[in-house]
Amino acid sequence: MKSQTVLTLIFLSLFKICLCENSDSNNLVKSPNGTIFYFAYGSNLLTRRLHLNNPSAVFYSIAKLKNHRLDFILFEELWQGAVATIVEDDEEEVWGTVWTISADKLHHLDKQEGVSIGWYFAKNVTLITPSGQQLVARTYEEVDNPKNKTASFDLPMERRPSNTYLEAIALGAIESRLPPEYIGFIFSFPTNGKMATKERRDQLGYPF
């Protein structure tokens, strides 16, 4: 009986060691029941923008997406400029905010991102938070992503965001306290010099 207990203890401790060596899966955080994690990196960094279409969204954390870069393409009429996308890129990373969203409200997000009309597609990405937590979140990438990588400050005119759009991203990044270097990086993208339409500005209560 005694030796059985000892063996059991040895077995359990070995098992624990195995789990620990399996490392990161230990830190995988689940979203609360009935919700999913959503990763915002563009204008949805700005709370009031996200809440226009997704009032149930609750801020969870900032987080980093590895092996992707922030880029811009696809002229959007209301914004009067190109909108943000993520592009797979081993040399870069994208910072953003993680929100919990009711799973039954996901269609609002899909609608905003124009999934059914071929603007963006949804994908699951693994993120890491500043405290080392890992989580899987839904995010959106443009269907017609840029083919060419340029330095942020060399963004061609037709791919530049409007002043209002870049302001929304930058303000969202400041509001959610993304790393200072990343906020600086956002400001390194040139704009096309335009303002969003009055309709979009009024929706957002611009000036922010």
Ligand X SMILES: *[C@@H]1O[C@H](CO)[C@@H](O)[C@H](O)[C@H]1NC(C)=O
Residues that bind ligand X (CB under 6 A): 33-34, 122-124, 147-148
* Smallest separation (angstroms) from ligand X to the CB of 118: 15
Give 158 or 199: the residue with its C-beta nearer to ligand X. Answer: 158
Dist CA 91 CA 40 (whole Å): 20
* Smallest separation (angstroms) from ligand X to the CB of 133: 18
Q: Is 13 helix (H, G, I), strand (E, B) or coil?
A: helix
Q: Answer for the pair 127, 139: CB distance below 8 angstroms, yes or no.
A: no
Dist CA 96 CA 64 (whole Å): 6
Give 42 or 172: the residue with its C-beta nearer to ligand X. Answer: 42
Dist CA 96 CA 127 (whole Å): 10
* Smallest separation (angstroms) from ligand X to the CB of 166: 21
Looking at this protein, which amino acid is placed at residue 140?
Y
Contacts of 58 (CB under 8 A, 6+ apart): 99, 100, 101
Q: Which positions are annotated as active-site residues? A: 113
Contacts of 194 (CB under 8 A, 6+ apart): 80, 81, 162, 163, 164
Q: Answer for the pair 76, 85: CB distance below 8 angstroms, yes or no.
A: no
The residue count for the chain: 208
Give 106 or 174: the residue with its C-beta nearer to ligand X. Answer: 106
* Smallest separation (angstroms) from ligand X to the CB of 16: 25
Give 32 or 193: the residue with its C-beta nearer to ligand X. Answer: 32
